[in-house]
């Protein structure tokens, strides 16, 4: 469905929470209409807030995402935390993929970077979310808050710095509005990752998250 995140942010800034709830309900109603229209949809993308609202509304109507045919979900946003992931998988879905039939993977990215992949996010690793940039076209470094040329140590906190290089586009050292912890390379992604992604703390108070 079409979604207007900028309109959501304006509603929040104006304090029009009744309008915000009405718009969210409008979006959820549209999604449920599409799911029930016989299109055989199996994969979807949504933010944590919208996925949670969709699951709860489907439950109110006596059904679920699995019963609607959904087997895979891409989800992303700064609200995507290990705590919410556990709640979503165990409570909203009813269990891990082998039980619920729904596999959800966290995503992180933007137009400059594309989508960063996530290492498996399961109960065994306490639903820890670690992202790995789509190298070689994009590289994300976790750098010191005061020295953007200094990469922090593994497990330390810093700001995300993005470098993108494609055949037609080059952006060197772009400082993102996010921070997190530097993660070790993984077997699937043999380069640095980033976990605990959240709004950069020096901008967080002035940042309205909205649906993300």
- Is this structure's pTM higher than 0.85? no
Q: What is the pLDDT of residue 205?
A: 66
CATH number of the domain at 123, please. 3.40.50.12780
Its domain, for residue 45, covers: 5-204
Q: Let me know if residue 211 belongs to a domain.
A: no
Contact (CB, 8 A) for 165 and 145:
no
pLDDT per residue over 183-211, tens digit each? 999 989 999 999 999 889 988 666 555 55
CA–CA gap between residue 5 and residue 208 (Å, rounded): 11
H helix or E strand, kind and range, residue 139: strand 138-143
Q: Is residue 209 part of a domain?
A: no
With H, G, I as helix, E, B as strand and everything else as coil, classify residue 130: strand
Q: Could you tell me if residue 50 is inside a domain?
A: yes
Number of domains observed in the structure of the chain? 1
Nearest Cα to Cα of residue 84 among 124, 119, 129, 120: 129
User: With contact defined as beta carbons under 8 Å apart, do 103 and 71 qualify?
Assistant: yes
- Does residue 212 form part of some domain? no
- Tell me the pLDDT tens digit for each residue of 5-50: 899 989 999 999 999 999 999 999 999 999 999 899 999 999 998 9
Enumerate the β-bridge partners of residue 74: 45, 105
Are 13 and 208 in contact by the 8 Å Cβ rule? The answer is yes
Q: Cite the DSSP H helix spans in the chain.
A: 5-14, 17-35, 48-60, 82-87, 97-100, 201-204
- Tell me: the pLDDT tens digits for 144-188? 999 999 999 999 999 999 999 999 999 999 999 999 999 999 989
Q: What angle do CA 116, 95, 104 make, to 5 degrees?
A: 20
């Amino acid at each position: 469905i079409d979604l207007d995140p900028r309109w959501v942010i304006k509603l929040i800034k104006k304090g029009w929470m009744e309008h915000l709830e009405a718009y969210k309900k409008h979006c959820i109603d549209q999604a449920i209409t599409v799911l029930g229209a016989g299109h055989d949809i199996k994969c979807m993308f949504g933010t944590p807030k919208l996925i949670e609202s969709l699951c709860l509304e489907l439950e109110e109507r006596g059904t679920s995402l699995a019963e609607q045919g959904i087997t895979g979900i891409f989800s992303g946003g700064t609200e995507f935390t290990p705590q919410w992931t556990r709640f979503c998988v165990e409570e909203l879905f009813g269990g891990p993929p082998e039980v619920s039939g729904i596999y959800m993977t966290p995503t992180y990215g933007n137009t400059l970077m594309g989508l960063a992949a996530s290492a498996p996010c399961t109960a065994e690793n306490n639903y820890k979310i670690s992202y790995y940039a789509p190298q070689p076209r994009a590289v994300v470094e976790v750098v010191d808050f005061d020295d953007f040329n200094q990469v922090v140590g593994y497990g330390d906190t810093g700001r995300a710095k993005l470098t993108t290089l494609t055949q037609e586009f080059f952006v060197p050292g772009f400082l993102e509005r996010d921070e997190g912890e530097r993660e070790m390379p993984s077997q699937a992604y043999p380069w640095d990752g980033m976990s605990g992604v959240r709004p950069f703390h020096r901008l967080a108070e002035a940042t309205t998250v909205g649906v993300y």
